[in-house]
Amino acid sequence: MLKAFNSLIDSFIDNKVGIAENFLSDALASHLKDNLQTLFFNKQLLNAGTGNEAVAMQDKLVRGDKIYWLDRTHNDPYENEFFDLIDQFVSHLNSSCYTGITGYEFHYTLYEKGSFYKKHLDQFRNNGSRQYSMIMYLNADWEQKDGGELRIHQSGSEQNIAPTNGKSVFFKSSELEHEVLITNTARMSITGWLKIN
């Protein structure tokens, strides 16, 4: 895993956008995708909003994804395997880059066909605890025609990142505006933030 961790960190240092192609193993990505699909089938996913609890709002003209928060109290073996991986990454990040991360939060994310998320920043105006955004994709056999790329905006340029299986993307929550382009098929991921309290 150290190779994937260093790939994510090194590309972040080089370009402000870290990318690691195989951050999640195929097996773990498959199990997490199965979890997400079961939650969707059982109608346990919730429409996502913008803002935090103090100023949350839902607007499908801005954001059309559905989410479900991961939590160790679920006692799901694959969620816990994912959290173990994140714990290892945070420990490596803190020891190599002195970031001082003390916590995190992650949710499953599903964009149904035709949905998107307009350009935004991930840090709340009334709470600066989110330091780094992380996305791990759960889309096997993704093709360019499927759409749903993550578009990063920085320095007047755009970078489109395909949501291919097992890939992780990592960037500063307060710095880079980004959006999810319209997806032409179901697009699945785990999305979250590394935080300081």
Confidence of residue 122 (pLDDT cuts 50, 70, 90): confident
Spatial CA neighbour of 138 closest among 67, 180, 188: 188
pLDDT (0 to 100) of residue 124: 62
pLDDT value at residue 48: 79
Q: How many domains does the chain have?
A: 1
Mean pLDDT of 152-178: 95
* Predicted local confidence at residue 55, as pLDDT: 40
SS3 state at 136? strand
In angstroms, the Cα distances linking 182 to 107, 119, 179 are 20, 12, 10
Task: Among 47-56, 63-72, 139-148, name the one with the lowest average pLDDT.
Answer: 47-56
Which residue segment(s) compose the domain that 58 sits in?
2-195
Average confidence (pLDDT) over 35-58:
76
CATH number at residue 71: 2.60.120.620
Q: Give me the phi and psi of 110, to 5 degrees please.
A: -125, 120
Contacts of 109 (CB under 8 A, 6+ apart): 48, 65, 66, 67, 188, 189, 190, 191
Instruction: Write down the residue that tokens 């500063």 correspond to.
Output: 172
**What is the predicted pLDDT for the residue at 52?**
46
- Reply yes or no on whether the pLDDT at 161 is more than 70: yes
The reply to whether the predicted model has a pTM over 0.85 is yes
Note the pLDDT tens digit of each residue in 57-111.
Answer: 555 677 889 999 999 999 999 999 999 999 999 999 999 999 999 999 999 999 9
**Mean of per-residue pLDDT scores for the chain:** 92
pLDDT reading at 44 higher than 60: yes
- Residue 135 clears pLDDT 70, i.e. is over it: yes
